[in-house]
A and B are shown apart, each in its own frame.
Chain A
Amino acid sequence: MKTVPIAIAGLVLSAFAIVGVSLVAVTHAATADRIAANDRMTMLKKLEAIVPPGSIGNDPIADRIEVQASELLGSPSTSVYRVRKDGEAVALVLNPVVPDGYAGPIKLLVAVMKDGSLGGVRVVSHHETPGLGDRIEERRTDWVLGFAGKSLDNPSEDKWKVKRDGGVYDQFTGATITPRSVVKAVANTLRFVKAQGNELYTQPAVAATKGAS
């Protein structure tokens, strides 16, 4: 092999590498702000869906703390968004992870009102079997909407199970593991909030980072 053609080939290749990287860099710079704004909007919409209408008076995405409670919340670090209106605490929205889904972790968004009842629960992402476990999705069945208004006293704590285990929550035909894990994780979230009490509302918010994640 001659060295000159190899050198030319190397130069052409690096030229294309530079062009490619520049294209990505320019696009990234041009879009980063808009993408962050879009993510924020999406997150806000999700929050609005699980707290009572009109109850958000602050910016819950900025008024956020990070907590470490992997035992109850399933991930090393969990965000807690604080919803306030006119300076009054309204609700906490947490994003716990269900560690023992049928096919991997399930990410949830759980709103806990000031009185300890649930504002609502949504499934953010999961890998459950299509047609069976995926009935936890709001767009497939109403199952997940059944959590709204429930608390650790209603039903009583030993009833926080699927019906097959003697609790009050429906399981799905052919899929018991998924709802069982979700019910347990929601109950654990309530336990966490109850144990922490007002502390969660009074901690200083984390410094603003690169927008919602």
Chain B
Amino acid sequence: MSGQQTYLEIVRNGLWSNNQSLVALLGMCPLLATSTSATNGLGMGLATTAVLTMSNVAISLIRHLVRPEIRLPVFVLIIASLVTAVDLAMQAWFFELYKVLGIFIPLIVVNCIIIGRAEAFAVKNPVNRAALDGLAMGAGMTLVLMTLGGIREFIGQGTLFAQADLMLGSFGKLLMVNLGPDFHGAILAILPPGAFIFLGLLIALKNLVDKRARNRQAALARATPTGAEPQPAG
């Protein structure tokens, strides 16, 4: 997990193998709280990605100035100031967007993915890698948020991407699915326990896919005598 990662590995890590929401289980509070619909998930994911990329860049830039013993308070300061500034700027200049995403912005401060990536990656890497890491980790979280939001919304309310037109304009209308007002759904999916249940299922699914992939690799290694020794499964 040091500077030797290729760009491809950084992206892979962010989207799959070190996905912050499914593997590191960081940032659970905003993840569970805002994944009540696919649109909310997408909005929260995009806002987090933007802040995460900015904070990674800022922290990578100052990484030689900060002494190790005070790095955490400095990170917290930078992240908090950035989020507040972004919140104010959006409120002033992107008000339409703010009305949709605004409620999520202050929540980003409590997302430990941001400080997690600052500490685990940005502080040890040059700016371009830190920025890519922010984008990749943010995209990974956005995918999980949107999937979880979509599942909960569909099962709980029978809609998908409801009100996406507020955020994405006419394109959002294309995404919207509605099973109609007669579909009452399982309210449990929308309530907080539903978030835990479906997140658990998503994590299980990811582990299953990983296990299959490992088994396949091991089988391949056994089949070819010169191959590397099989990796332990599980």
Contact = CB atoms under 8 A, between A and B. Distances in A.
A164 interface: no
A12 interface: yes
Interface in A1-52: 5, 8-10, 12-13, 16-17, 19-21, 23-24, 27-28, 30-31, 34-35, 38, 42
Name which of B69, B99, B181 has the most chain A CB atoms within 10 A of its CB. Answer: B69
A67 interface: no
Interface in B150-196: 156-157, 163, 181, 184-185, 187, 190-191
Interface in A125-152: 129-132, 139, 141
Contacts of B67: 5, 8-9, 12
Nearest to B189: A131
Nearest to A10: B70
Task: Give the residue among A10, A129, A131 with the most B Cβ atoms within 10 A.
Answer: A131
A79 to B, nearest CB: 21
Chain A's interface: helix, strand, loop or mixed, by majority? Answer: helix
Interface in A148-176: 173-174
State the 4 A-B residue pairs at the shortest beta-carbon distance, nearest first: A31-B92, A20-B81, A34-B92, A27-B85
14 contacts: A9-B67, A12-B67, A13-B70, A16-B78, A20-B77, A27-B88, A31-B91, A34-B93, A35-B88, A35-B91, A129-B191, A130-B191, A141-B181, A173-B184
Interface of B: 36, 65-67, 69-70, 73-74, 77-78, 80-82, 84-85, 88-89, 91-93, 95, 99, 156-157, 163, 181, 184-185, 187, 190-191
Interface of A: 5, 8-10, 12-13, 16-17, 19-21, 23-24, 27-28, 30-31, 34-35, 38, 42, 129-132, 139, 141, 173-174
